[in-house]
Structure 1
Amino acid sequence: MAGGKGEVSATSGLLFPLIESVEKPKRNRFSYVCATIASMSSVLLGYDIGVMSGATIYIQEDFKLSDVQVEILVGIVSFYATFGSAAAGRTSDMFGRRYTMALSAAFFFLGAILMGFAPNYGLLMAGRFVAGIGIGYSSLIASVYTTEVSPASARGFLSSFPELFLNVGILLGYVSNYAFSSLPLQLGWRFMLGIGFVPSVFLAVLVILVMPESPRWLVMQGRLGEAKQVLIRTSDSIEESFQRLDDIKAAVGISASCIDDVVDIPKQISHGSGVWKEFLYPTPAIRHILITAIGVHVFQEATGANAAVLYSPRIFEKAGISSSDQKLLATVAVGVVKTAFILVATVLFDRVGRRPLILMSLGGMAASLITLGVGLTIIERSQEESTWLVGLCVAMVLTDVAFFSMGIGPMCYVSSELFPLRLRAQGMSLGMVVNNVMSGTVSITFLSLYNAITIGGAFFLYAGIAIVGWVFFYVLFPETRGHNLEHVEKLFGNLLWKFSPKKYDDSFVDDVETTQNA
């Protein structure tokens, strides 16, 4: 397959030589619908992040909490989410991507209700635990399902949808904060948290009524007839759907000549058994994939993006904004910028590629974080208020989240394409566990960190991590744009791609595979 073209041109061009010369295949709309519904589960995580940034102001006052208790309340949900992420890989392999998504909505629904009615700090934490389980499930299944249902021609675009909807959720959380901030103290934050049950109900209804099961999961269960029908509905052409089915069958170990609608599949494949053995004793390619994918999750969170979002009202307060309304409005601006720039990323992932966007993202974040650290340090040490410094700090927060949303942010979800089919669900489960641990660590330590090394020092630290991340991805990350999911594994296992002048076409993939075998 030539780089940047759809799956049809890779192998079926020999079988259907006139297709591309006569007419370029049209984009499949139903795959966009499926990806949109799956990605809506990310709204649950986004809403929690956004709403807690403002709700904690009122919860702290209502329950008379210390800063440490606030840190725990905000950050603990990421640690709770590790339980959901750890279980979601196996659950989605055993029961399907679709039912796992409905389960995530059910957990978040119950968590939102518990938080909204919590009479004390202890029960509020219990609600955070239940919601965290749902967040863990949703963060994994959104990326896995979207990657598996998308045609290669739009996989980067559609795989970045979860990050888009996460940002929509954050924006909705900010809007909820502003909308309910005028209510009495004991009611306002309860409405902010409790209203979160609405998107979970909406998601569950759409999953049950509209969304089909993942075709790759259906093949893993031996349900070839059902998988073929889903692929026909989600591919750019009939020929592409046949080719995708043949590639998936080959990945599972089913002969391409098999025409049965139902076949017997070994339990270790259909239930994802034996995956951890392959992770513990990996081939060079799988080891490279694991390091790269885990690196995506580590650097996405360790660069402090969650701190900038969750604690944006406090950051703006440190920058010199004292009015609560102005702080919340500035926080809404963060949500708007994040959402706007993820829209840019959804377009560029399939046009520019993953690698250039990640490098640009981390480079831009490092520059903006350094500038933000300088501005906050000057403000903290100066005795006079300066409007231009306040404006600079606000602008750098917005710039930081903009660069984040254009690269490393959505790559968290796009990274599911790195794993081969047999390892994808549980590989992403491992990645999301790492992501949640890093997210929780950043969220739960931010206030203590800036009290220890100043708020400017905290952002200097995040900038340093962004620079390390830039070097990491420059050395280890190959371009995956335009490649069939079943071919991506062949790009890993060595660094020849980095020094080769060849384009990322099928001949290069074959060269890489030959080198690995040698």
Structure 2
Amino acid sequence: MEEIEVEDQSKTREAHNKSRVKMNKYALGCALLASTNSILLGYDIGVMSGAVLYIKEDLKISSTQEEILIGSLNVCSLIGSLLSGKTSDMIGRRYTIVLAATTFFIGALLMGLAPSYPFLMAGRVVAGIGVGYSLMIAPVYTAEISPAMTRGFLGSMPEVFITIGILLGYVVNYAFSGIPNHWNWRVMLLLAAVPAVGIGMGVIVMPESPRWLVMKKRLIEAKTVLVNTSENEEEAEVRLREITRAWELHESSSFVGQSVWKELLWKPTPATRRILIAAIGINFFMQASGNDAVIYYLPEVFKAAGIKKKKQLFAINVIMGTAKATFVMISALFLDKYGRRPLLLLGSAGMVIALSTLGLGSMFFEHTAHKPTWAIVICVIAVCADVSFFSIGLGPITWVYSSEVFPMRLRAQGTSLAVSVNRLVSGVVSMTFLSVTKKITFGGVFFILAGIMVLGTVFFFFFMPETKGKSLEEIGKLFEDKKTSDEGSDEMSGT
């Protein structure tokens, strides 16, 4: 049995090496369709950063209500994230994507047509649930359908589309800022329904995840999908045997009949515990870095720096969005070549420098009535650097890593748990950002965020082994054998 397994893994690696030369177009198409779901969150982040300026004027809401309005989508997405694991195991990955798009579509209509603040909040709640579903299911589906040697690039697509959505939101802010205040923010929010419809229709041509099909014992359908996403039938056969063996080992284990949540949280094995620490840790630091809050409240930051005209504020947003989109694509292109750890460590270390610079710039503005152009330019560069380093590291790699480290039996609900932590931290940071800045100033907040990223860099170095080039079935061994995991970390750190 062991000889057969070694032979299979050898064949798998050989097949994967061939796939380095050419991207599988069918797998790429599936990943793109699934990842377009993530454009919904990106668009909301981008468009709300500008729309909220007009909502405050039109609905006469306070700063506290503004924080609740912005952060509520992230907190409510916690509901969708927690439900998505069980849902996707029951009805499949593909139909969960449809559910996510439909829920967000309803939320977008409620927000755009809201006659008052309570109705607007109701729309945020519904849209948030849809976002929670989409953030979990897009990376899981992409990871499960991708060949190992291109999984980093394909798994980065959700973050690519989040970034594209943010940039679209900024462009829409700029384009519709000139129409009457009562209508501009409504048009901005209603336009979010357009991609939701396209996503729901696009899923019709997507295949189901081959690993979910194996879980449901639909092996013929699973093989068909694997043939389409592999370089040749031999590679597809090897991948199918690996997936089937992994599932059969689970069915013959003592975990059969137990709750997945019990296996994850109540009595996790040492390997499962290490996986949880890595997956939850990276999701925690992704949002504790304050990236979402910085994007949501960037106009407030630069208003404090002396820029008052909304057109100028939105223009800065577009510049930042362009930088973010550029660097997330660069990261996606090199993720399978250089691996997860080097880019993650580079990105987090770069964020420390950028946030520290932004903190210094903000403190300068707080202690002088004069707002020199050179200081504003430095702050704009620091913001662009912050989001760019985020897009190199934490942005794409969080989704890739979260969806690939869990074993098949735990993947959907394990990823949903990690993403739930992501959403909870994002909501807390977004809903307290302005209140905290009033207590300790923008400069103080940016220095705290820089300190958090110092801790994050240390965490990534010690707790996250390299997963580049390994099949989903092989990755678990990095966590099962602690010595192997440590050796992987030493190799990547050059020791």
- Which SS does the other structure have where 2:336 is aligned? coil
1:199 aligns with 2:195: yes
Shift of 1:274: 1.7
Shift of 1:19: 7.5
Q: 216, 237, 248: which is aligned to 2:211?
A: 216
1:423-434 matched pairs, under 5 angstroms:
423-434=410-421
Kept in 2: contact 1:475–1:498 (CA 8 A): no
Q: 31, 36, 39: which is aligned to 1:35?
A: 31
- What corresponds to 2:357 in structure 1? 371
Q: How many residues align?
A: 485
1:479 aligns with 2:449: no
- What corresponds to 1:88 in structure 2? 84
Q: Hey, what's the Cα distance between the residues in 1 that align with 2:354 and 2:308?
A: 23
1:113 aligns with 2:109: yes
1:316-465 matched pairs, under 5 angstroms:
316-415=302-401, 416-465=403-452
When residues 13 and 490 of structure 1 are mapped into structure 2, their CA distance, relative to the original with a 3 A threshold, is closer
Shift of 1:383: 2.2
1:131 aligns with 2:127: yes
When residues 193 and 275 of structure 1 are mapped into structure 2, their CA distance, relative to the original with a 3 A threshold, is same
Q: 146, 150, 165: which is aligned to 2:161?
A: 165
Q: 283, 294, 297: which is aligned to 1:311?
A: 297
Shift of 1:322: 1.9
1:204-283 matched pairs, under 5 angstroms:
204-208=200-204, 210-253=205-248, 274-279=259-264, 280-283=266-269
Q: Hey, what's the Cα distance between the residues in 2 that align with 1:382 and 1:357?
A: 38
The one-letter code of the counterpart of 2:288 is: A
Shift of 1:17: 11
Q: Hey, what's the Cα distance between the residues in 1 that align with 2:211 and 2:112?
A: 39
Shift of 1:239: 1.5
- What corresponds to 2:281 in structure 1? 295
Q: Hey, what's the Cα distance between the residues in 2 that align with 1:136 and 1:21?
A: 35
When residues 226 and 393 of structure 1 are mapped into structure 2, their CA distance, relative to the original with a 3 A threshold, is same
Question: Does 20-29 or 123-132 show the bigger shift?
Answer: 20-29
User: 5+ unaligned residues in a row in structure 1: which ranges?
Assistant: 1-8, 256-263, 506-518
Q: 268, 272, 279: which is aligned to 1:286?
A: 272
Kept in 2: contact 1:77–1:131 (CA 8 A): yes
Shift of 1:154: 0.2
Question: Does 96-105 or 380-389 show the bigger shift?
Answer: 380-389
Shift of 1:391: 0.5
Q: Hey, what's the Cα distance between the residues in 1 that align with 2:285 and 2:85?
A: 22
Shift of 1:448: 0.5
Kept in 1: contact 2:24–2:231 (CA 8 A): yes
Shift of 1:320: 2.5
Q: Hey, what's the Cα distance between the residues in 2 that align with 1:20 and 1:317?
A: 51
Q: Please give the per-residue CA displacement for 1:170-229, whole angstroms capped at 9, x wherever unaligned.
A: 111111111111111110000000111000000011101x10000000000000000000
Question: Does 303-312 or 455-464 show the bigger shift?
Answer: 303-312
1:142-157 matched pairs, under 5 angstroms:
142-157=138-153
Kept in 1: contact 2:305–2:371 (CA 8 A): no
Question: Does 341-350 or 492-501 show the bigger shift?
Answer: 492-501
When residues 160 and 118 of structure 1 are mapped into structure 2, their CA distance, relative to the original with a 3 A threshold, is same
Q: Hey, what's the Cα distance between the residues in 1 that align with 2:13 and 2:371?
A: 69
Q: Hey, what's the Cα distance between the residues in 1 that align with 2:75 and 2:444?
A: 25
When residues 237 and 504 of structure 1 are mapped into structure 2, their CA distance, relative to the original with a 3 A threshold, is farther
Kept in 2: contact 1:55–1:177 (CA 8 A): yes
Q: 41, 64, 69: which is aligned to 1:68?
A: 64
User: 5+ unaligned residues in a row in structure 2: which ranges?
Assistant: none
- What corresponds to 2:453 in structure 1? 466
Q: Percent of aligned positions with the same letter in both sequences?
A: 49
Kept in 1: contact 2:11–2:238 (CA 8 A): no
Hey, which of these two has a bigger chunk of helix by percent? Answer: 2
| TM-score (normalised: structure 1) | 0.89
Kept in 1: contact 2:354–2:385 (CA 8 A): yes
Q: Provide the aligned C-alpha RMSD in A.
A: 2.4
